Amino acid sequence: MARHRPAAEGGYQRGEETRARIVQAALRLFGERGYEGASTRDIAREAGVNAPALQYYFDSKEGVYLACIAFFVERVWEHLEEVVAHAESVLADAHAGDRALTEAYLSIQARFASFAYDAPEAVHWRMFMARERAGLGPAASFDVIDKGLNRRLFAATSGIIGRLLGKPADDEETRIRTVAIDGQVLVFRMMRRQVLSVLGWESIGQRETTRVAAVILDQTRELLAALVRSRKARLAAEPGRGARD
Summarize pLDDT for 52-62 with one digit per residue, the tens: 888 899 999 99
CA distances from 40 to 65, 134, 160 (A): 10, 22, 43
Summarize pLDDT for 74-116 with one digit per residue, the tens: 988 999 999 999 999 999 999 999 999 999 999 999 998 887 6
Look up the pTM and report it.
0.83
* Average pLDDT value for residue range 165-180: 97
Show the CA angle centred on residue 145, arms to residues 141 and 150, nearest 5°. 145
Which CATH architecture is the domain 68-237 placed in? Orthogonal Bundle (1.10)
Res 159: pLDDT: 98
CA pair distance 131, 2, nearest whole angstrom: 21
Instruction: Classify 10 as helix, strand or coil.
Output: coil
At residue 127, does pLDDT exceed 50? yes
Summarize pLDDT for 32-49 with one digit per residue, the tens: 999 999 999 999 999 999
Query: Please, what is the average pLDDT of the chain?
Result: 87
H helices of the chain, in order, are 11-37, 40-47, 51-58, 61-92, 98-118, 122-133, 140-145, 151-165, 172-182, 184-190, 192-199, 206-237
Reported as a pLDDT band with limits 50, 70 and 90, residue 51 is confident
- Contacts of residue 93, Cβ cutoff 8 Å, sequence gap at least 6: 100
